[in-house]
A and B are shown apart, each in its own frame.
Chain A
Amino acid sequence: MVLLIPERLNRRGRLEHPEPGAPKRPTIVALLLACAVLLVLDQTGPALTPVRRLLGEVYGPLESATSTVARPVTSVPEWFHTQGALRERIGGLESDNAALRQRVASAGFDRNKLAEYEGLTAAAQDIGYAVVPARVVAYGASQSFSRTVTIDAGSTAGIEPDMTVLNASGLVGRVLRVTRSTATVLLIADADSVVGGRVGDSMEVGFVHGAGVLGGSGRLDLELLDQSVVPAKGDTVVTWGSSKGAPYVAGVPIGVVDSVYSSVRDSTQHARITPMVDFTSLDVVGVAVPSGTKSDRAVIDADGELK
């Protein structure tokens, strides 16, 4: 505590003059209290939402502009691929190609089957979601231990909290809060994220938890509700959806089952999921909005047309 008191007695018992610029005790106490108040306010309720929104209105456009200006520079790391990585990539693409060729050969039958199901689904329920395109302009740092990104579309683009964010590969996350021109998105890889998931092949439901890791080893964890069902490796997991499509619309692919393990401690069945989306290189994403939403930009409508 002595460290905190700049005016201490010296050896002769006289008051030492504090160093100019040294912190005074009232300042220290006031600032520490301010931190405590902030923590308590944010922990207990939504008191700080307006402040977050205000700072978002200021910093969101700044982040968008900086990201746009810096795009030629930030894309530089993509140029440097090692020869090994490129070879590996060619190998992967060749095997993909072969698999796709095979699938094309049997596509006719599948397409007919699919058309039937599509008809059934469409008759039963018209989901009708349109997608607002947006770009990722800022990443939350790993030092903060929460996996969030900022996208450059906000309330004027028709985006509201608790909307589903996806990209061409699959589910990305959900909108946490919006400002006029930007929105903060919680990635499904965040340790706090829980998504209702359904194993496509067996229709079994479960909860997909994020692991808090974005990079190569970033796997998601599927906790199945039915202990007796074992999903097969390679099964696709899709969102199970909630009423009115908030926070997640149904049927968006989340990932592929990688391995299955059961937890002895709480006797539950888990599966490790490889996400469809590469979270480290997110760029163009889409936000699912109800069909007919007013937006400041072109919206990809449910039938695939630009409006």
Chain B
Amino acid sequence: MTPARLALTAALISLAVVLQASVFDAFAWHGIVPDLALLVVVGAALVRGGEFGMVTGFAAGLVLDLAPPADHLAGRWALALLVVGYVAGRVRQDARPGTAPTATTVMATVAACSFVGSSIYALTGIVLRDPAVGVGELLQVIAISMVWDVLLAPLVLPAVMAAFRRLEPAR
């Protein structure tokens, strides 16, 4: 992990979290905003592999858990985004080596990761009774955030992936 890559990752995570909380709340749909941090994690894992994806996911989740206005139990988003990093890393690993993932693969990965991430977050909430919500509302939130993420992915992911790729060209 070079210092430049570390700085870039920290900057991207911070940017995503701040935009998510301060700008996108005005465009929220039922209060649900696009998960920019999740998109950054997916981008990192698709370019640099599962190991880096998982660490990025853990760091991004930690910031989401602790930065204001978060009030849920710390570690819930960290766990969710950690798994997201792992899943996206698997996709890269299973793709043919040496080729960039196709647009379809990327979009499918985003949809799957969004579903997995939100679901894990919601499930830990149910298990730890950290606000208890109905399953109906839960499914609605998961579905809407999936739509948001898929809509925003074509705008955000190419930039994120290009940034990670340019910093450290493929071996």
**A residues within 8 Å of B by Cβ?**
3, 19-24, 27-28, 31-32, 34-39, 41-43, 48, 51-52, 55-56, 58-60, 62-63, 66-67, 70, 73-77, 137-150, 176-177, 179, 182-186, 190-192, 212-215, 280
Contact = CB atoms under 8 A, between A and B. Distances in A.
Contact of A143 (B78, B131, B141, B171): B141
Given A43-B128, A212-B133, A56 B68 contact: yes
Given A28-B54, A37-B75, A77-B27, 14 more contacts: A21-B52, A23-B86, A32-B79, A42-B73, A48-B66, A60-B68, A66-B22, A73-B26, A138-B25, A141-B21, A144-B64, A145-B122, A177-B68, A215-B31
Interface string B93-128: 100010000000000000000000010011011001
Which of A39, A75, A147, A177 has the most B CB atoms < 10 Å from its CB? A39
A145 B64 CA distance: 13
B121 A143 contact: yes
Interface residues of B, number: 64
Nearest to B17: A59
A114 B145 CA distance: 50
Contact of B22 (A58, A137, A144): A137
A142 B21 contact: no
B9 to A, nearest CB: 15
B69 A77 contact: no
A201 B158 CA distance: 60
10 contacts: A23-B53, A38-B62, A38-B65, A51-B74, A75-B26, A138-B21, A139-B31, A145-B122, A184-B71, A190-B131
A26 B168 CA distance: 25
A142 B78 contact: no
B76 A39 contact: yes
A143 B25 CA distance: 12
A56 B63 CA distance: 10
Q: Is the interface of B mostly helix, strand, loop or mixed?
A: helix
Contact of B18 (A24, A63, A177): A63
B55 A140 contact: no
A191 B31 CA distance: 15
B22 A186 contact: no
Given A21-B92, A23-B89, A38-B75, A66 B49 contact: no
Contacts of B69: 138-140, 148-150, 184-185
Contacts of A56: 67-68
A148 B70 contact: yes
Contact of B66 (A24, A37, A55, A74): A55
A55 B121 contact: no
B131 A179 contact: no
Given A39-B73, A74-B26, A186-B71, A51 B66 contact: yes
Contacts of A191: 131-133
A22 B49 contact: yes
B163 to A, nearest CB: 17
Contact of B51 (A24, A77, A176): A24
Contacts of A58: 67
A19 B19 CA distance: 34
Given A21-B89, A141-B31, A184-B71, A146 B21 contact: no
Contact of A23 (B35, B50, B62): B50
Nearest to B127: A39
Among A41, A67, A76, A146: residue with most chain B CB under 10 A: A146
A75 to B, nearest CB: 7
A55 to B, nearest CB: 4
B80 to A, nearest CB: 9
A243 B132 CA distance: 29
B67 to A, nearest CB: 4
A59 B63 CA distance: 9
Contact of B78 (A34, A67, A70, A137): A34
Contacts of B32: 141-143
Contacts of B93: 19, 21-22
A143 B76 contact: no
A63 B63 CA distance: 13
Contact of A19 (B21, B33, B49, B78): B49
A62 B78 CA distance: 21
